[in-house]
Homo-oligomer: A and B are copies of this chain.
Amino acid sequence: MTITGDQSLLREINRMALVRVVQRQPGLSRADLAKETGLTKSTVSLLVQDLIDEGWMVESDVQATGTAGRRPTPLSIDGSRLALIGADVSLDNLSVLAVSLTGEVISEIAEPLAGGRPEIVIRQLARLVGNLVEQARRGGRRLLGIGVGVPGAVLTQQGVVKLAPNLAWRDVAFRSELSIELASLGVEDLPIFVQNDFDVAALGEYEFGEAPVPDPLIYLGLGVGVGAGVVVRDRLFLGADGFAGEVGHSILQLEGPVCSCGRRGCAEAFIGLKAISTRISGHAEDMLSVETIRRLLDREDEGALLSVKRAGRYLGVLIQNLWMYFNPGRVVIGGPVCELGAPFLDAARSCLEAYAQDCALQLPDIRLARFGTRSIAIGAAALVRHVLLRPMEFRFHER
């Protein structure tokens, strides 16, 4: 990369760098920011005034420190004036929410999918987004953009869903079609970002976690499908074709059970909801829901308990492998299968603890998803903030 004389880009890079520093270290003053970034005090003052005017930052009350004299004014991210829209397109449901710049949910709507075809889903999504946009604007908030998480492989630059097997979608021009539908509802000029669902969930944990958030950060999503979103060096790790983190299709056992992908012994064929259901019921039809399996566990159904514990043990193996491959600072576990609770999660934990003890290493920080069932929708909103805060990286990436 070279640094050219593009002044408006340089200005945006510096502005957003200031926001990122304040996000990591709330309470810094303008003088601290100058020291931290190497920018002159006068440049910092000008840019900070801008950021305050536009709703990115707010001056906190002057804190009494006990010493005399004028105190420098502490700055923090303003959660009250801007909004991000995030949408979770799942296999049977659409959830859309508006969140503040600091990740608090302002409003949300959810509906069952009106149909499976992309144009139906996109029209329905546009209507829900339109509602929330109007609501946010009535509440006096300025919107920064719209993020969408979809269960499939996405061409990030183009906003195209390349393949979403469980929705039976292929090469859907999601961003441009959503943009047309939104324009027809009078919603224009908002940038739209589309990304894989587990990837955005990882960004939700990364952007809205308490600073400092460890890096690499892995979000491991457990549903019918199993996969991971991975943040490496402050950015999503997408790989050569955008499918890095497809850990549900790593092999946990040679010649293991057949997976939905056609291979044998994939992690998903041990840990995915369908695999657990099949193991309990003895057949692959009429998949048991998480609620049904929970009821069986509550009743201490021995078959269900053994099957769920077995899946939990394989979850432990999968996390051990994530640990060795990525050396993450944090692993976050999310998705509906987590709701199977203690029998599942404790089995994973004790498997992992045995591995850690055998090799005398300390496990990374492993925790449940911060936003529970909203992980993907809030993550999609986080994607908007993530991209806007990194004008250089994303511009550079577009070349």
A39: chain B residues within 8 A (beta carbon): 2, 4
Closest to A251 in B: B317
Query: Nearest chain B CB to A227's CB is how many angstroms away?
Result: 9
Residue A242 lies at the interface, judged by CB distance under 8 Å to chain B: yes
Residue A76 lies at the interface, judged by CB distance under 8 Å to chain B: no
Residue A321 lies at the interface, judged by CB distance under 8 Å to chain B: yes
Q: Is the CB of A249 within 8 A of B364?
A: no
Residue A376 lies at the interface, judged by CB distance under 8 Å to chain B: no
Residue A51 lies at the interface, judged by CB distance under 8 Å to chain B: no
Q: Is the CB of A250 within 8 A of B324?
A: yes
Residue A30 lies at the interface, judged by CB distance under 8 Å to chain B: no
Q: Is the CB of B252 within 8 A of A325?
A: no
Residue A10 lies at the interface, judged by CB distance under 8 Å to chain B: yes
A239: chain B residues within 8 A (beta carbon): 216, 326-328
Q: Is the CB of A263 within 8 A of B359?
A: yes
Closest to A360 in B: B262
How many Å lie between the Cα of A6 and that of B40 in the bound state? 12
Q: Is the CB of B359 within 8 A of A261?
A: yes
How many Å lie between the Cα of A39 and that of B2 in the bound state? 8
11 A-B pairs within 8 Å (CB atoms) are namely A1-B392, A2-B13, A232-B237, A240-B364, A242-B327, A246-B324, A249-B324, A250-B324, A251-B317, A251-B320, A325-B326
3 smallest CB-CB distances across A and B, nearest first, come from A239-B327, A4-B38, A240-B329
